[in-house]
Amino acid sequence: MSEVFNGYERQYCDLSANLSKKCSSAIALDGEQKKQKLSEIRSGLENAEALIRKMDIEARSLPPSIKSSLIVKLREFKSDLNNFKSEVKRITSANLNAAARDELLEAGLADTKTASADQRARLMMSTDRLGRTTDRIKDSRRMMIETEELGVSVLQDLHSQRQSLLRTGDTLSGVDENVGKSKKILTGMTRRMNRNKWTIGAIITALVAAIILILYFKLTK
């Protein structure tokens, strides 16, 4: 297990516990105190995202046997971070809705004679559409960041696979060279064996011929 990853993990767990406490306390606050608490929470979320990116880079630099378990942890951390973001959206949305209601009430009191129910309804709908549009923009930005991180991860994996293929190619070239040398050695040994066979055959033939000549001369005397 990587000590660097473990250090990042401890920092994230401490930060996660701190964010959980702040989210719980932000619900009971209002006004400037709530805005300040939400600002602290957003800052903590940015730090948490930075830690997750560091853990992701560290995990993908480790061997596959270790990397797989760390990737599972990373998914849990990302899910935990997304839950915090959803909670912040919910708190912010409640705050915005309260502010919008206050503005509508003030506008209604300032001009009760000219304001109408339809106008107030349209204003509420506009505020609601604005909130949904803001949420969609934030979701799109989050998806873009996740897509970018996925692209970096894929490129790193492709690079490691390319290095593995290059090393395999070098190994195969060495094996092919050794096979060629072995073939040459075997061919030379075969040629020497053939020459030895012919030499032995010639010696045997000469010996047989000599024996026949000796017997012939003895028999003719």
Give the pLDDT score at 127: 82
Query: Contact at 8 Å (CB) between 142 and 85?
Result: yes
How does 109-145 read in b/e, with b if 16+ C-beta sit within 10 Å?
Answer: eeeeeeeeeeeeeebeeebeeebeeeeeeeeeeeeee
Residue 8 CB-density burial (10 A; 0-12 exposed, 13-18 middle, 19+ buried): buried
Q: How far apart are alpha carbons 59 and 72 in whole angstroms?
A: 10
Cα gap 68→215, rounded to integer Å: 89
pLDDT at site 80: 92
Q: Tens-of-pLDDT digits for all 221 residues of the chain?
A: 578 888 999 999 999 999 899 888 888 877 888 889 888 999 999 999 999 999 999 888 888 888 888 999 899 999 999 998 998 888 888 755 555 455 544 544 555 555 556 667 677 776 877 778 787 777 767 877 877 777 677 778 788 788 888 888 788 888 888 888 888 899 989 888 989 889 999 999 999 998 998 888 888 86
Assign 116 to helix, strand or coil. coil
